[in-house]
Amino acid sequence: MTRKRKRRSAIVEIGTGFTKVRIYTINRKDGYEQYTLAWKEGGRRKTRCFACMDEARMVAQQVTVRLVNGSSDTDEATKRDIQLLRHCERTALGFGVTLAAAIDEWASARRTAGEIPLSDAVRFYAANRADLVAIRTTAQVATEFIATRRSSGVSDAYIKSCGYNLKRFTDRIRGNITDIGTSDINRFLGSLDNLGPVSRNTIRRNLITMFSFAKKQGYLHPDRKTAAELSESFKLPDTAIEIFTPEEMRRILLAAHARILPLIAIGGFAGIRSAEILRLDWEDIKWDRGHIEIAGHKAKTAARRIVPLPENLKAWLAPWREESGRIISISDYVGALGDTAVKAQITGGWRQNALRHSFISYRVSLTGDVARTSLEAGNSPKMIFRHYREIVDEEAARAWFEITPPAGWQPGGLKWSIREKLKRVIAGIESPIVDTTNHAQP
């Protein structure tokens, strides 16, 4: 029986001469088309069959090139190779480039990155792109920061101190804030030879706050710590906490001039900071309610607090009970404190922060409650233990809060109007003024 041959419907020839490859299209019995390649190589006729004309053409072209170059048939691409090639082409076209261009770009990036994986290099670049942040100089950021602090209602003293510290920084460290590194800040802080560790740490805190402001404004990278945060702080030396004894405090009060005595009495018996006392008015003392109210804009921490008004402090402030306006009007209160210490014959002169240290030490000893004292003083318990508290006995604590002026006492330098008012009160002509306003507890 003669075998029936498959019908060929078309022939496609690729190449010429000995490199010619024919592609026969054969209609199969099952209805599908088959594409058969036929060519001569090494004196023998070779064939290959494909179900796809595109694949058949591609292999035919490869065979033609191989025949021209004299290569062996082992160099011919497999079906898997063709699938990978098409996948790579589609991937490259997804980014709008040809496969050849994509390979060139990859090779260039590979040479530039060296041993660093390209994915790591790309992630690092994405995290450090300069075009993600707005460009601002250190001076511009400092000006914006101070303006926002002023509008937020912080104290004038803080704004003045912070502005001065930041100006020192911007005068020395100039340029874009994105270019300022941790080493720049460390060098700046280390160059402040005339300042101690406390002052340097204060300036560092101002810089941290300013750099955090810059990050929120989009002037620094949002996902990285600022150079100020990474800068080094300065270790505080262990210094002895200086306080006054009850006897020294009595001598100081009796020697004090009327213009400085309220600051000494309030600082020693209420523990309020000198800078806060300078912002207080006589109206802030609630005589009948037994406390001193420190509004947020007058407090160092910008948080309103209530400080107890002990009876002995009332007695020392009694001459001013009817007064209004600022409690302290003297400009050089530091010099006045030094003069008072000399008059009171205090060994070593005036002691820095000794009024506040004394109040906290004696108050903790008297109440045994550090948390309560820290709330009254506007500090944390940790700060009290580290910087303020001196060990004193309960007897000395009671003696401290029992210091009262002698009978008929009047401070030296008291205004004439106040002296006359006191004379009339003593004579019974007038009654002492009573604080009848705002009796509801805050």
Do 315 and 410 fall into the same domain? yes
Whether 112 is in a domain gets the answer: no
pLDDT for 425 equals 59
Residue 319 CB coordination number (10 Å): 22
Q: pLDDT higher for 147 or 431?
A: 147
In a shared domain, residues 283 and 389: yes
DSSP string, 121-189: HHHHHHHT-GGGS---BHHHHHHHHHHHHHHTT--HHHHHHHHHHHHHHHHHS-SBGGG--HHHHHHHH
Domain that holds residue 81: 8-90
pLDDT at site 339: 94
* CA separation for the pair 388, 357 (Å, rounded): 5
The string of pLDDT tens digits covering residues 300-340 is 777 889 999 999 999 999 889 888 899 998 888 889 999 99
Residue 101 lies in a domain: no
**Whether 435 contacts 287, CB under 8 Å:** yes
- Alpha-carbon gap, residue 43 to 63, rounded angstroms: 15
Same domain, 369 and 256: yes
Domain at 364, CATH number: 1.10.443.10
How many domains in the chain? 3
3 state SS of 218: coil
What backbone phi and psi angles, to 5 degrees, belong to 12?
-120, 130
Q: Say if CB 270 and CB 307 are below 8 A apart.
A: yes
Which pLDDT belongs to residue 432? 46
- Please tell me whether residues 153 and 277 are part of one structural domain: no
**Assigned domain for 49 exists:** yes
Confidence (pLDDT) at 431: 46
Between CA 109 and CA 125 the distance in angstroms is 13
Residue 410 has pLDDT above 50, yes or no: yes
Poorest-confidence range of 154-163, 341-350, 400-409?
A: 154-163
Mean pLDDT for the chain overall: 84
Domain annotation covers residue 432:
no
Q: Are residues 406 and 320 in the same domain?
A: yes
What would the two tokens of residue 153 be? 């209602």
pLDDT bin (cut points 50, 70, 90) of residue 7 is low
Q: Same domain, yes or no, for 190 and 288? A: no
Cα–Cα distance measured from residue 323 to residue 335, given in angstroms and rounded to the nearest whole number: 24
Report pLDDT digits (tens) over 9-61. Answer: 568 888 888 888 888 988 888 888 889 989 888 778 888 898 888 888 888 88
Q: Identify whether 181 is part of a domain.
A: yes
Question: Is the pLDDT score of 142 beyond 50?
Answer: yes
The answer to whether residue 111 sits within a structural domain is: no
Question: Which of 61-70, 189-198, 248-257 has the weakest average pLDDT?
Answer: 61-70
Q: Is the pLDDT of residue 415 over 70?
A: yes
pLDDT digits (tens, 9 = 90+) for 361-400: 999 888 888 888 888 888 888 877 776 666 788 899 999 9
Residue linked to tokens 């290099």: 121
Identify whether residues 274 and 218 lie together within a single domain: no
Looking at the structure, tell me whether residues 294 and 391 fall in a common domain.
yes
Q: How confident is the model at residue 434 (pLDDT cuts 50, 70, 90)?
A: very low
Q: What angle do CA 323, 329, 332 make, to 5 degrees?
A: 150
Tell me, yes or no, whether 252 and 170 share the same domain. Answer: no
Residues 226, 250: one domain?
Answer: no
Is residue 258, in this structure, part of any structural domain at all?
A: yes
Mind listing the pLDDT tens digit for each residue in 243-284?
Answer: 999 999 999 999 999 999 999 999 999 999 998 999 999 999
**Residue 163 clears pLDDT 50, i.e. is over it:** yes
State residue 9's pLDDT score: 56
Does residue 407 carry a pLDDT above 90? Answer: no
Higher pLDDT, residue 257 or 78? 257
pTM of the predicted model as reported, rounded to 2 decimal places: 0.56
Place of tokens 């019908």: 7
Q: What is the CATH number of the domain that holds 36?
A: 3.30.160
pLDDT value at position 71? 60
- For 95, the token pair is 């980014």
Q: Do residues 252 and 383 both lie within one domain?
A: yes
What are the pLDDT digits (tens) for 280-296?
999 999 999 999 999 88
Query: What does the pLDDT average to over 218-241?
Result: 84
- Tell me, what's the pLDDT at 440? 36
- Please state, as a whole number, how many other Cβ atoms lie within 10 Å of the Cβ of residue 421: 19
**435: in domain:** no
Average pLDDT over residues 75-98: 82
What is the per-residue pLDDT for 185? Answer: 95
381 and 259 fall within a common domain: yes
Cα–Cα nearest to 281, from 331, 320, 325, 333: 325
Give the CATH number of the domain where residue 145 resides. 1.10.150.130
